[in-house]
Amino acid sequence: MDRRTLLASGTAAALLAAAGVWYSTRRPGETSIANITPAAAEGVDTSGIVEMTLGSDDAKVTIVEYASFTCPHCANFHKTVYKDLKADYIDTGKVKFIYRDVYFDQFGLWGAMIARCEPTRFFGISDMLYDQQKDWIGDGDPAGIADRLRKLGRIAGLENDQMEACLADEENARALVAWFQENAKADDITATPTILIDGEKHSNMSYADLKAILDKKLES
């Protein structure tokens, strides 16, 4: 397996419900980070979640990427495939790109909450999260991860109060988890990264392979 597996069997909701509680990193004098169990996201209204997109709405081809900020294979895809995809196809108006979060753990959710704190900065912060993935995840200590995510957000131009409000927003966290569950179930997402090209599902691939698929579609 060359990518991180989301589901061994069943639905994303079933897997996450079995994962147990996601703990916050609250320490004395600090604002707590939203602590949401996956099961608590069931039946939540997700209509307010913003779809993160790049490129022209009139593009001939639409790509949807399912990825997690804590997935090493997603970070590699971002480095070796996405940046060329963006330059050659998204920025040139040939492809509309949609990014959808997958949450394997609370850390991926926290990263998404920082990235989504100011939607206009989402893709810039996403670049930082993937490029610096090993650094902000570190040894996996939750308090350390939270502090490094805050530092990353400050570098990206977010204000401290703004970030604390975003990280403590349990209603939004619950909606994000529910939104992820809905998308994963609807598109049968079993691993990351997963790429949908005009609705057709593909696993992780090289840029050369992706380019061949896109060029064929654009020529037809």
| pLDDT, tens digit only, all 220 positions of the chain | 345 554 333 333 433 333 334 434 444 334 445 555 656 666 789 999 999 999 999 999 999 999 999 999 999 999 999 999 999 999 999 999 999 999 888 899 999 999 999 999 999 999 999 999 999 999 999 889 999 999 999 999 999 999 999 998 988 988 999 999 889 989 999 889 999 999 999 999 999 999 999 999 999 8
Structural domain including 153 reads: 4-210
What is the predicted pLDDT for the residue at 128? Answer: 98
Asked if residue 175 is part of any domain, the answer here is yes
Asked if residue 143 is part of any domain, the answer here is yes
Total number of domains constituting the chain: 1
Asked if residue 35 is part of any domain, the answer here is yes
What is the predicted pLDDT for the residue at 35? Answer: 57
Asked if residue 117 is part of any domain, the answer here is yes
What is the predicted pLDDT for the residue at 8? Answer: 35
Asked if residue 18 is part of any domain, the answer here is yes
- 122 vs 71: CA distance, rounded Å: 18
Asked if residue 135 is part of any domain, the answer here is yes
What is the predicted pLDDT for the residue at 30? Answer: 43
Asked if residue 216 is part of any domain, the answer here is no
Residue 21 belongs to domain with CATH number: 3.40.30.10
What is the predicted pLDDT for the residue at 195? Answer: 97
Asked if residue 219 is part of any domain, the answer here is no
CB 100 within 8 A of CB 106: no
